[in-house]
Structure 1
Amino acid sequence: MKSILIKDTTREEREQIIKDSLGDDWDVGCGYEGTGIDYQLYIDGKKELRDLNAEAKCGFEVAHPEERKNGCGLY
C-alpha cells in the first residue's frame, strides 16, 4: 500500500483518497457528517489523516498539536 502521508502525496491524490474513502458522502462536502472531521485540512496539506481521526475519536480538536505529547491531548 502506498503511503497516504501529506509529504508522499499530491493534493490531487489526497482528494482522491478522501473521495474513495467517503464514497457518496463526498458530495455533502469535506466535513464528514457522521464524525465532524474536516477532511479539507488533509486535502490542503495542513493535517495528517491520523491526526484528524485521533482528534475526532477523542471528541475535540487540538489547537496546538505540537503541544500534545500523548494521545487524546493528555500530557
Structure 2
Amino acid sequence: MIPPRIEQSTREERRAFVLDAWKCLRDCESCGKCRVLRGKDAEILYADYIEGRRAYMEITMEIRNNTYITNR
C-alpha cells in the first residue's frame, strides 16, 4: 500500500490509511506489526503524518531504526 501524499489528501484519509496499515491481523507469529510498533499506538506514532507535518516514510524509517522520539 502506498500512503496518501500529504499535499493530495485530507487528514481523515491519512488517518484511515494509518489505521488500516497497522490494524491487528490476529496472527502474531506471522505479522510482526506489534514488534515494529513496540507496543505503541500507530495513531500516536504517526500523528505528525496524520496532521500533515511529516512524511509517512520518514516516520516509518525512524520507527524501524529505533530513533523515534515517543514523548509526544
- TM-score normalised by the chain length of structure 2: 0.58
Higher relative contact order (CA 8 A, sep 6+): 2
Q: Does 1:60 align with 2:67?
A: yes
Determine which structure has the larger strand proportion and give its number: 1
In structure 2, the gaps of 5 or more residues are: 25-32
Equivalent AA in structure 2 for residue 58 of structure 1: N
**Structure 1 unaligned regions, length at least 5:** 25-31, 63-75
Q: Percent identity?
A: 24
- Larger-gyration structure (1/2): 1
Please identify which structure carries the higher helix content: 2
TM (norm. structure 1) is 0.56
Q: Give the alignment's Cα RMSD to 1 decimal.
A: 2.9
Query: How many residues are aligned here?
Result: 56
